[in-house]
Amino acid sequence: MKKVKLNRRLIQIYFLAVIMPFLVFFGMMAMFSQSPMGQLEKEVIRFYENAEETSQSFQEMIIVELDDLEAGRTKVFEEEAKGLVALPLNDMMLTVGDTKYFYQFSKVPFKVHSLGLTGSFALPDGTPVKYSLNFASVIQRKMLEKARAVTLRNGMTILLAYFALNLFFFYKIAKMMRGSFNEMKGATKKIQEGNFDFDFPESSIDEVAEMYASFDEMRLQLKESQELQKQYEQNRKELIANISHDLKTPLTSINGYVQGILDGVADTEEKQDRYLRVIAGNAEEMEHLIEDLFLISKLDIDQLPMRTDPIDLVPYLQDCVLDWQFILQREEMSISLETEREHAHIVGDREQLKRVMNNIVNNSIKHLQPNGSISIQLQKEDGGFVIAIRDTGVGIAKDKLGHIFDKFYRTDAERNRRIAGSGLGLAISKEIVQRMGGIIWADSELGEGTTISFYLPQVEDAK
């Protein structure tokens, strides 16, 4: 579809509706005047061919009629003048000595083509006389009379055509704009009803097309926002369900063992001790869950203060590995740090960074088999450092890998194996890493293990 700018179309309409009628009018007048102008030229030539003789005749007439002219009696002079040149006399300027006389004989609309004679002579007593005569063109008078009729007729025609064109183009513009506004009104109503699945029609007007494009972009954004809101609502429902499930499981266990003690099922000191240890373990699990919920809620509302401590990652990670080695040795597992760097300086919250490391390593431990291993690699990347925690666990399926940082997400295998945990550890780790200016991601292969990596920016003055 060929595009046309609205400004260009309005200029075209203005030209056709306003300028064109006047051009037509003046063109018709020019065509009308070509023939009379030729006749007028011939009349002028005839008049001035005998100008000297005519002037002499008027000089004699003035001498004869001078007393009447000075007395204001001009009727005889006017009749004789008209008969002499066969043209109506418009006016005459007469100067006798120091006295000036002006005579108006007829009135015409204008005297552009009036014919004039001038002359001077002296009376027998020596009094100087000057005269100036103006005659109305017969052709001009006829042309003016005909022009009045033509102008009136053509003027009315042009005026009607002018209003007709204006009404026509006003209708076209109104129809075009009404169509655009109706489309916008219909689109707005659909959006009010929550319907975002529609398309705008194409428009041949650039500005209207741009308006449609802007409105369509807003529609897509609202649709995306609606879908995101639905996803948030679904996540909220799942969050409540997961919290209920993860709280109900240890509570049920605690209630069952307490009831067993109260009913005397644990009738020996050894059974009571075992029951109490199970109760304590479930209570500790609930405490960790509530602590994680409290932390994730503070992160969501941006109320968790983040310190900006200078941290050298090499000795920091070495200390972390030493702590974990003591725990993993009892489980017949191993952990190691792999790096060629002596220093790696960043700025961040030491306590929250330790929480990130603990969450990732604890998540890896849950998926390890006996004799499994965890390796921590530290490498320099563009403008910062990447810490990669790799384990030799069971791995995660590709379709589930993208959800491991979601709140309360746990794979089906984890739930079936009843692996303890709130399902919030990696979600908390993601929030903390992002608040420290970094990013976090995961790679995994089923049966080969999982690698969770995160990037932290380097301190500018420590490069």
Least confident span in 121-130, 165-174, 242-251: 165-174
Write out the E strands in 306-410.
Answer: 309-312, 334-338, 345-348, 373-381, 384-391
Checking if the pLDDT of 51 tops 70, the result is: yes
Q: How many domains does the chain have?
A: 3
Cα gap 258→269, rounded to integer Å: 14
Query: Tokens 């740090």 label which residue?
Result: 337
Per-residue CA distances from 4 to 168, 177, 330 (Å): 19, 15, 79
Cα gap 351→370, rounded to integer Å: 30
The pLDDT score that the predictor gives to residue 438 is 93
| Region 307-314 average pLDDT | 90
Checking if the pLDDT of 41 tops 60, the result is: yes
Contact (Cβ atoms closer than 8 angstroms) between residue 356 and residue 432: yes
Domain co-membership, 357 together with 259: no
Domain co-membership, 123 together with 260: no
Domain co-membership, 126 together with 219: no
Q: What is the pLDDT of residues 66-108, one digit of tens each?
A: 988 888 888 888 888 888 887 778 888 999 999 999 988 876 5
Tell me, yes or no, whether 302 lies in a domain.
no
344 CB neighbour count, 10 Å cutoff: 23
Tell me, yes or no, whether 243 lies in a domain.
yes
The pLDDT score that the predictor gives to residue 244 is 77
The pLDDT score that the predictor gives to residue 27 is 63
Checking if the pLDDT of 422 tops 60, the result is: no
Domain co-membership, 230 together with 182: no
The pLDDT score that the predictor gives to residue 379 is 93
Contact (Cβ atoms closer than 8 angstroms) between residue 40 and residue 87: no
Question: 214 is in which domain, residue-wise?
Answer: 207-296
Domain co-membership, 266 together with 346: no
| Region 106-127 average pLDDT | 75
Query: Following DSSP, what letter does each residue of 55-72 receive, concatenated?
Result: HHHHHHHHHHHHHHHHHT
Cα gap 89→59, rounded to integer Å: 15
Query: Tokens 């003035």 label which residue?
Result: 62
The pLDDT score that the predictor gives to residue 187 is 78
Tell me, yes or no, whether 241 lies in a domain.
yes
Identify the residue with better confidence: 285 or 94. Answer: 94
Tell me, yes or no, whether 107 lies in a domain.
yes
Mean pLDDT score of the chain: 79
Q: What is the CATH number of the domain that holds 271?
A: 1.10.287.130
Checking if the pLDDT of 31 tops 50, the result is: yes
Confidence of residue 139 (pLDDT cuts 50, 70, 90): low
Checking if the pLDDT of 131 tops 60, the result is: yes
Domain co-membership, 212 together with 332: no
Domain co-membership, 254 together with 377: no
The pLDDT score that the predictor gives to residue 271 is 86
| Region 131-158 average pLDDT | 67
Cα gap 282→410, rounded to integer Å: 19
Checking if the pLDDT of 266 tops 90, the result is: no
State which of 148, 172, 195 marks the end of a domain: 195
- Closest by CA position to 92, among listed 117, 73, 64: 117
Cα gap 200→265, rounded to integer Å: 73
Domain co-membership, 450 together with 348: yes
What does the angle CA 419 – CA 422 – CA 455 come to, to the nearest 5 degrees?
Answer: 100
- For residues 357, 358, 359, 362, the Cα torsion angle rounded to the nearest 10 degrees is 120
Confidence of residue 373 (pLDDT cuts 50, 70, 90): very high
Tell me, yes or no, whether 120 lies in a domain.
yes
Question: Using N-to-C axis directions, what is the helix angle for 350-366 and 425-435, rounded to 10°?
Answer: 150
Contact (Cβ atoms closer than 8 angstroms) between residue 216 and residue 241: no
State which of 135, 166, 195 marks the end of a domain: 195
Least confident span in 10-24, 47-61, 282-296: 10-24
State which of 244, 266, 296 marks the end of a domain: 296
Cα gap 42→155, rounded to integer Å: 30
Domain co-membership, 425 together with 355: yes
Domain co-membership, 25 together with 145: yes
Domain co-membership, 34 together with 165: yes
266 CB neighbour count, 10 Å cutoff: 18
Six-digit token pair at 85?
A: 């040149």
Tell me, yes or no, whether 448 lies in a domain.
yes
| Region 376-391 average pLDDT | 93
Cα gap 90→78, rounded to integer Å: 9
Tell me, yes or no, whether 423 lies in a domain.
yes
Q: What is the CATH number of the domain that holds 443?
A: 3.30.565.10
Domain co-membership, 146 together with 222: no
The pLDDT score that the predictor gives to residue 411 is 59
Classify 142 as helix, strand or coil: helix
The pLDDT score that the predictor gives to residue 418 is 42
- Closest by CA position to 324, among listed 332, 315, 334, 316: 334
The pLDDT score that the predictor gives to residue 410 is 61
